[in-house]
Structure formats: C-alpha cells, structure tokens
Chain A
Amino acid sequence: MTRADIVVRGRRRRPRTTILVLAVAAVVAVVLSVAVGSVPIHPGVVVGVVADHLIPWDTGTSFTATQAQIVWEFRLPRALLGFLVGAALAVAGAVLQAVVRNPLADPFVFGVSSGASVAAVAMLTLATGSLATVSVPVAAFFGALLTTLLVFLLAQRRGRVTPNRLVLAGVAMSYLLSSVTSYLVLRASTPGGGVSEVLSWLAGSLAAADWGDLGLPAGVLVVATVLLVLLSRILNAFLTGDETAVSLGVDVGRGRLVFFVITSLLVGVAVAVSGAIGFVGLIIPHAMRFIVGTDHRWVLPASAFAGGLLLVVVDIAARLLLAPTELPVGLLTAAVGAPFFLWLMRRLGRVET
C-alpha cells in the first residue's frame, strides 16, 4: 500500500458542535416563526409570553392580552408542530435509508406516507360528523403502520427481505395508494364534499395546529429518537450489508421489522397532524451525513434538529411569500428540496470518484 497515491480527504467532523448549533438555530427559528405574521410581534415579546407561561413568578415583561393570545394560542403551537413534524420525518428518513441501504429511501418512497394519507383522506371524505375530527390522526397512524407491514410482507421471499425488494414493493405500494387517494378526492369533489379541505391537507399544512395536536408527536418523537440512538450501532451494522450484519450477530430480519415499525410511528403521527410533507426525510439525512459523518449516533439527533429547523423556516416562508394567502408547506419543501437534493447528489458524486 503506497501512501503517496492516497489523497487524504479528512472531513471536518464536529458532531456535538453541529447538533448544538442546530438546536440553538431551531429555537431561534421557532421564536421568529411566532414573531412574524399579519400582526408582527417583537421577538422579545414572544420570549416574554413564553416565559410568562413557563415560569411561575412574574417575569416583568409587558405585553397585551391579544399578543399573549396570538403567541400562545395560535402561533407557538404551529411553530412547534412544524418542528416536531420536520424532526420526525428527517429521523424516519435517516433510519429507512440505513435499513435498506438505499440513499433514495424516504417515507414517501416506501408508501408509508401514502398509507397514512389514504387512511386520513378516507376519514376526511367518508366519515361524517364528530367521528372525522377525532379519527384522522388515528387513521393516519394505522394507515402508515399497515402499509409498512404490507410492504414488508410483499418484499419477503422465503423468509428473507432484501433491500431492493423492499424499495420496489414500497414504490409500487406508493403509486397504488396515491391512486386510491386521488379516487377518494375526486369522489368528494361534489358540492359540499369538503374537497378543498382535503386537498390543502394533502399538500401539507400546519395551519390548523393547536396545543392538543402536539402531545402525541412530541412523545413519539422523543421516545423513538432516544431508542434509535441507543440502537445506532445496529443501524451502522446494516450499512455493512446483510451478510456482514448477520456475522456480527444482528438479526437483520427482526431488526428491519423493528426499525420499520418505529419509522411508521414517526411518519404516521407526522402525516396525521400535517398532511404529506415531502423531501424533508430524503434531504436532511444526506445533508447531516455530509456534515457529521455516517455514524447514526450523530446522524439521528442532527437530523432531528435540522429537519425541525427546516420545516419551521419553510413554514415562515410559506406564510410570507404570498401573504395574506398561505402556501401549503409541503409545496415549498418540494420546491426547495428537489433542487437542493440534485445539488447534493452532484456534489457527493464528485467527492466519491
């Protein structure tokens, strides 16, 4: 091995610093997200209102009751929901890419998001009255879980599940479920069928957020991310290939199933509260690997903060660009995400060869 022909290309890797910076940036973005809008509120007032709610003694900041209401009742839940959804999608994407060793994997490729969408749209268009509002998140979650398990079963042959078959089964399922969703939407396109509500949900929106929406995604995100970080070495082992992973004592079949169930939980709750928001789960993990390396111990928390940050920022843009009209946030993530992804792909390609 001659040392001379080796071009040392050391990446700058400061995972802890990166994660800290992302976390601080996410907090700043949330404050800014709450500050901007049709009634601008000074970031200092935003912090004051939040402090007033969180700290039991008088914080000495002054704000009007209207400001307090706008911050606490309307904008903060929305910003936090954006963070949670972005974080959940990014973590799910990172895990899916690892367990199938496919850099193009994300919750959409696997039909997980489509499964959640179909179930949620079915609820929105078919169920009536109070049943609908109660069951949409639950339906989306079970839609995601069922689709995940179905894709897993379809990809199975003689008890073995290979990454390629998983991707193919996921793509096929994704198209199938998208057509079902289209059918349901068309079916609802009758006067009073509620189609505009469904379409705006499908395009991905955080508009309807309130505090009641936050508990489930927050709980799932925290529990799932902690669990996944603890299992990060198993995720790393998946990248070495099935044979090597087995020789390392990893039960790859059971491992894939466990990771799939965890990701469908994350995607299910994210889609349930926000609709289909694409590209976050595809782009963020790549960007994070580029910065902190491929070790999932760092990729997962970095992806969580970066995904959350991205969605909060995109949501600010979605509200400002055509104000007072709001753009669906999913439309913007795709518009921003696709070119970024192509740029990243070309950049990565140049490095590797």
Chain B
Amino acid sequence: MNSETSTATVPLHVEAVSVDIAGRRILHEASLSADGDVLGLVGPNGSGKSTLLRTVYRMLHPASGRVTAGGRDVWVIPAREAARITAALVQDAPSDLELTVGECVATGRVPHGRLLGAETAADRAAVQNAMMAVGIEAYADRDVATLSGGERQRVQLARALAQEPSILVLDEPTNHLDVQHQLELLSLVRRLGRTTLVTLHDLNLAAAYCDRIVVIDHGTVIAAGTPEHVLTPTLLLDVFGVHAAVLSNPLTGRLQLAFTERKNL
C-alpha cells in the first residue's frame, strides 16, 4: 500500500454515459472526471447516483457512452483487469453466511489471483496492509456478523484496499454510521489519496470531505465544481427543494449548510 508515497494518479472518466433499465432511461449522457482527488456525487433519492456508480464498477452496462479508468475502457478490458484498477464499496452487503474479517478482506485479492492460483506472499501482504490501513488487523479472526455497522464498513473498505486499486468508488459509505464513524471513514478515504468517486446523502459531509462536487438530478448532471461553487442556495432549492443558508463551520472553516423546508418561508 504505497499510495501516499506514489505521485502518479490514475484518472477516472465517465463520458456521456446513458443507462436504460427496463426500457426507461435512468441516466442521460452523464459525464464526470476525477484524477487523484475526491469527487462527491450528490442528488436527491432516485436521481441516478448509484446507477452511475454501477456503470463504473461494471454492474450495469451503459446504453451509450463509456467509462475509462486510467485511460482504459472498463467495459472493454477484462473484468479482472478492471477490478485491479477500480475497487467499489457498495451498499447493503449481505450478511448471511458471514466470512471472518480476514477472509472477507482476502476476497479483495480475487482479481489478482491467476484464476486457479493459490494465495501468494503478495496476497498476504496486501491483505495485512489493507487491514492495518483501516485499523482492523486486531479483528482478523472475528466473524463479520459480530461487528458493528462502522466496523463492517471499515472491513469493506479494507477489502477494497486489498484490491490495491488506483480508483475507489464508494456508494453511500456513511450510511448507517454514527457521526464519529462518518467523519473517521471519510477522513481515512481522503488520507488514502486515491482517485475517489463517492456518493453522499449528507451535503455537509460532501462539502467537508470532497474536493469537487457533481450534482445529479433526474439522471442528468446539472452542476460540477468546488463545494463553494456548486452548493448554492439557488441550486439547493432547485434540486433538493429546500431553503439553505451557506455558513462557515466554526470548527473547520469549511462550508456548512443550514436547511429548512420550503413551505416555512
């Protein structure tokens, strides 16, 4: 895990990607780019955030457009090769038949193994480093089922890191986490210093931890830029239907939003 020492970043480009599900267009020519920075994807429920992410980690094939990771089309290169470049943390991983923490993190090595290959020293080192990076090495032998929500998310993040990816795709990583674990997880993601695409419901978290923000509504990208540039009262009223005041967080100095329902004003 030498991300913090390496200088070369690997860009992620989503280029005019459209997605149809059951004959309905869910995503309309969405484009975004990230390169070594943390890009936040925000939008109301059902706006197409997760759909866009699914085209990146190869769960949903775009109807048109393309996704490139490190300049290579993820839908053209072999799946395992794509999984060595991009790792995903998805929502609601199942919890029947749980693995132990160590076994779960080790599944991150699947794209690295020759199909019929045994575990290598590189595999063991990557798993160990990934667990240390998120601070779960002490629980390696525990069942994932016995962990709290915050610990589980860290296990999933460690599994993603064990893939030794250059690009991280995180779908609502702070869901079900208390505020302490939300902040810990996102600051950890920032420290990793990799190209990161993350969906977040909490706009204040997005403003605090993302270098840039892309706003998506009804399957269309409608704004992109720094939090200060994008998260304006006008846009928040248009897209989220709330009145907002833009403040400054007295503890961090970062952009802070205060909201109220539309009908009250």
Q: Which of A6, A101, A233, A246 contacts B97 (CB 8 A)?
A: A101
Q: How many chain B residues touch the partner (CB < 8 A)?
A: 53
B145 contacts which chain A residues (CB < 8 A)? 352
Is A1 a contact of B151 with CB atoms below 8 Å? yes
B97 contacts which chain A residues (CB < 8 A)? 97-98, 101-103, 239, 289, 294
Query: Known: A241-B90, A244-B90, A249-B111. Is A1-B98 also a contact (CB below 8 A)?
Result: no
Q: How far does the alpha carbon of A251 sit from the alpha carbon of B110 in the complex, in Å?
A: 12
Is B104 a contact of A240 with CB atoms below 8 Å? yes
Query: Known: A158-B22, A249-B82. Is A101-B135 also a contact (CB below 8 A)?
Result: no
Q: Which of A1, A10, A97, A250 contacts B142 (CB 8 A)?
A: A10
Q: Size range of the interface on A?
A: 35 or more
Query: Known: A231-B116, A247-B58. Is A103-B107 also a contact (CB below 8 A)?
Result: no
Q: Is A135 at the interface (CB under 8 A from chain B)?
A: no
Looking at chain B's contact residues, the main secondary structure is mixed
Give B149 Cβ to nearest chain A Cβ, in Å: 11
Is A236 a contact of B90 with CB atoms below 8 Å? no
Query: Known: A236-B99, A241-B94, A295-B99. Is A248-B59 also a contact (CB below 8 A)?
Result: no
Q: How far does the alpha carbon of A20 sit from the alpha carbon of B108 in the complex, in Å?
A: 29
Give A167 Cβ to nearest chain B Cβ, in Å: 11
Q: Is A121 at the interface (CB under 8 A from chain B)?
A: no
Listed residue (A8, A231, A240, A293) with the most chain B CB atoms within 10 angstroms of its CB: A240
Is B59 a contact of A233 with CB atoms below 8 Å? no
Q: How far does the alpha carbon of A158 sit from the alpha carbon of B96 in the complex, in Å?
A: 25
Q: How far does the alpha carbon of A102 sit from the alpha carbon of B94 in the complex, in Å?
A: 10
Q: How far does the alpha carbon of A234 sit from the alpha carbon of B54 in the complex, in Å?
A: 20
Q: Which of B83, B96, B139 contacts A102 (CB 8 A)?
A: B96
Q: How far does the alpha carbon of A239 sit from the alpha carbon of B81 in the complex, in Å?
A: 21
Q: How far does the alpha carbon of A217 sit from the alpha carbon of B249 in the complex, in Å?
A: 69
Is A230 a contact of B139 with CB atoms below 8 Å? no
Q: Is A222 at the interface (CB under 8 A from chain B)?
A: no
Q: Which of A11, A101, A246 contacts B58 (CB 8 A)?
A: A246
Q: Is B109 at the interface (CB under 8 A from chain A)?
A: yes
Q: Is A346 at the interface (CB under 8 A from chain B)?
A: no
Q: Which of A1, A289, A351 contacts B150 (CB 8 A)?
A: A1
B163 contacts which chain A residues (CB < 8 A)? 248
Q: Which of B110, B154, B169, B184 contacts A248 (CB 8 A)?
A: B110
Residue numbers of B with Cβ under 8 A of A are 22, 54, 57-59, 78-84, 86-88, 90-94, 96-100, 103-104, 106-111, 113, 115-116, 135, 138-139, 141-143, 145-146, 150-151, 154, 156, 159, 163, 169, 181, 184
Pick 23 A–B contacts, CB within 8 A, sort by A: A1-B184, A9-B146, A10-B141, A10-B142, A11-B100, A101-B94, A101-B96, A103-B96, A230-B115, A233-B110, A240-B159, A241-B90, A243-B54, A243-B90, A244-B159, A246-B59, A247-B83, A248-B108, A249-B81, A249-B82, A289-B97, A294-B98, A352-B146
9 nearest A-B pairs in the assembled complex, by CB-CB distance: A249-B83, A249-B80, A247-B88, A247-B57, A249-B79, A243-B90, A230-B116, A249-B111, A248-B110
Additional pairs, 19, CB under 8 Å, beyond known A13-B141, A243-B57: A1-B135, A1-B151, A8-B142, A10-B142, A101-B96, A102-B97, A158-B22, A233-B107, A233-B109, A233-B113, A240-B99, A244-B156, A246-B58, A247-B86, A247-B88, A249-B81, A249-B82, A352-B143, A352-B146
